[in-house]
Amino acid sequence: MAEIMDSKTKVLTLKSSDGKEFSLSESAAVLSGVLKGMVADGLTEGEIPIGTVDGSILEKVIGYLNKHAEGGVSDGEKKKFDEEFVTVEEMKVLFEIAKAANFLEIKGLMATACQEIAKRMKDKSVKWVREMFNVENDFDAEEEEMIKAEYPWAWEGVESDGDNN
C-alpha cells in the first residue's frame, strides 16, 4: 500500500489479525467510530491492533475509507464506488467486510454491505440461508410443514433447491 501522504498528514498504522500492517491517514481513520475515538483520545502512537480482521479484509476496508476521505469526490461517485465495492465480492468476503465494518463502527460500509447481503438473500430457499449463515435446522419435517401451511406467503417466489425448503 504505497500511498504518498503529505508531511502534515498524521498516519496511523493498523495491524491485522494475521500480522499485516497498513498505513491509514488520520483523515480517513476518523470515518471509523472506533478509530475516531482513538484519535480523539490520543491513542494512535505505534501500531493499532485490529485483532478481529484479517489482512485481506482490512486492506479492502482501508480502500473504502481512503475513497470516502478523498476530497473532491461527489456523493454520486461515492455511491457508485460503494455499489461496485460490494457487488464484486463473494458472499463470505461480504460477511467479513460487514463484520469488520461493525467492529470498526463504519456505518456507511456496514449499511452498504448489509444491503448487498439482503439483496443476494432475496428469494433464496431456507436451505440456502441456513447453509450460508451456518444455522442449524432444529425443526422436524412435521414442524416445517406446519410452518409452510401457516405462512404460505413466505415461500412465494423462493428459489427451489430440490427439497422445496
Encode 45-92 in three state secondary structure: CCEEEECCCCHHHHHHHHHHHHHHHCCCCCHHHHHHHHHHHHHCCCHH
Cβ–Cβ < 8 Å for 11, 26: yes
Same domain, 109 and 69: yes
Is 164 a domain residue? no
pLDDT given for residue 107 in this prediction: 97
- CA dihedral (98, 104, 109, 114) in degrees, to 10, reads 30
- Assess if residue 86 is contained within a domain: yes
What pLDDT is attached to residue 165? 42
Averaged over successive runs of 10 residues, the pLDDT of the chain (165 residues) comes to 53 97 97 96 93 97 96 91 90 95 98 95 90 91 92 87 50
Distance CA 18, CA 137 (A): 33
Same domain membership, residue 117 and residue 137: no
| Residue 164, pLDDT score | 40
**In a shared domain, residues 139 and 75:** no
Do 45 and 98 belong together in one domain?
Answer: yes
One domain for residues 91 and 139: no
Give the range of the structural domain holding residue 30, as residue numbers without chain letter.
11-121
149 and 110, same domain (yes or no): no
**CATH code of residue 37:** 3.30.710.10
Q: Is the pTM of this model over 0.85?
A: no
Same domain, 62 and 97: yes
* Judgement on whether residues 35 and 58 belong to the same structural domain of the protein: yes
51 and 76 co-located in one domain: yes
In this prediction, residue 160 carries a pLDDT of: 78
pLDDT of residue 88: 77
**Number of domains the chain contains:** 2
165 inside domain: no
Domain presence at residue 5: no
Asked whether residue 29 falls in the same domain as residue 82, the answer is: yes
Q: Is 96 contained in some domain?
A: yes
Residues 135 and 113 in one domain: no
